[in-house]
Amino acid sequence: MNLIIDCGNSFVKLAVFEANRIVDKKIVDTENFLKNFQNFIEIYPAIEKGILSSVGNLTKSDVLAVQKACRVLLLDHDTPVPFSNQYATPKTLGIDRIALVSAAVEQYKNKNVLVIDAGTCITYDFVSEDNTYFGGGISPGLQLRYKALNNYTAKLPLLIPEEPMDIVGNSTNAAIHSGVVFGILNEIDGNISIYQGKYRDLTVILTGGDTNFLSKQLKSGIFANSNFLLEGLNSILQFNSHE
């Protein structure tokens, strides 16, 4: 069994994989990580190895506890990955994006793949059919756009994301929902269309926290997978286990 730990700014995702299949997943806050981690380990004593990403968000004692529990790979920019990285500034490439591209090359071999991660930011990552990663794009995510309208204007309210009833917003709230949501949907559909024009037989993956909210409203054909990043981390662990 493999232990996957993905540490964000506020929360940590813990997952257990049996080969390439996810067995269990748990989301905990960083402050209570150690207690939840120890409970998780007790449930799955068959865990042999693990991978830990974004180690900077955990304390040294947290990282040591993980290292004592199993053989753990601390993911960084020098970790071998199953693709050729042609990003011009590889040391600035987010670890999460590295994991997403790893999942793409593992699950969609010899295919052109565009991975769209709809989280705090929306990231677009393209990997070619010969497993070469070139880069992509970064834009503000759903929540970030709502917050920006509230933070940088005097009177616009902070709203909870909501599916617009119509492109024509007949109130300030409705206009904000229309502008933000349709703006993102058209951005995503537009980006997919441009990539499809450049690369044949394009496979498109949508993942991230806003996957469910956005996927049902998009026009383009996509595969929605909220666990894609965890699967990517597992594929990196498997790749390095075979080194």
Domain boundaries, the chain: 2-74, 84-233
Whole-number Cα distances in Å, 62 to 57, 79, 92: 10, 21, 25
**SS3 of 122-171:** EEEEEECCCCEEEEEEEEECHHHHHHHHHHCCCCCCCCCCCCCCCCCCCC
Amino acid identity, position 178: S
pTM exceeds 0.85: yes
| Catalytically annotated residue among 62, 96, 117, 210 | 96
- The CATH superfamily holding the domain 2-74 is ATPase, nucleotide binding domain (3.30.420.40)
User: Do the domains at 2-74 and 84-233 have one common CATH topology?
Assistant: yes
* Neighbouring-strand partners of residue 51: 4, 73
Residue for token pair 């900077």 = 56
Report the alpha-carbon distance of residue 30 to residue 43 in Å, rounded: 20
Report helix, strand or coil for 22.
strand
Burial status of residue 35 (CB atoms within 10 A of its CB: 0-12, 13-18, 19 or more): exposed
Is 96 annotated in the active site?
Answer: yes
Residue for token pair 């699967």 = 231
What does each of the 243 residues of the chain score in pLDDT, given as a tens digit? 999 999 876 789 999 999 889 999 999 888 888 888 988 889 998 898 999 998 667 888 889 999 998 899 999 999 999 999 999 999 999 999 999 999 999 999 999 999 999 998 999 999 999 999 999 999 999 999 999 999 999 999 999 999 999 999 999 999 999 999 999 999 999 999 999 999 989 999 999 989 999 998 998 889 999 999 999 999 999 999 875
Q: Which CATH code of 3.40.1350.10, 3.60.20.10, 3.30.565.10, 3.30.420.40 fits the domain covering 84-233? A: 3.30.420.40
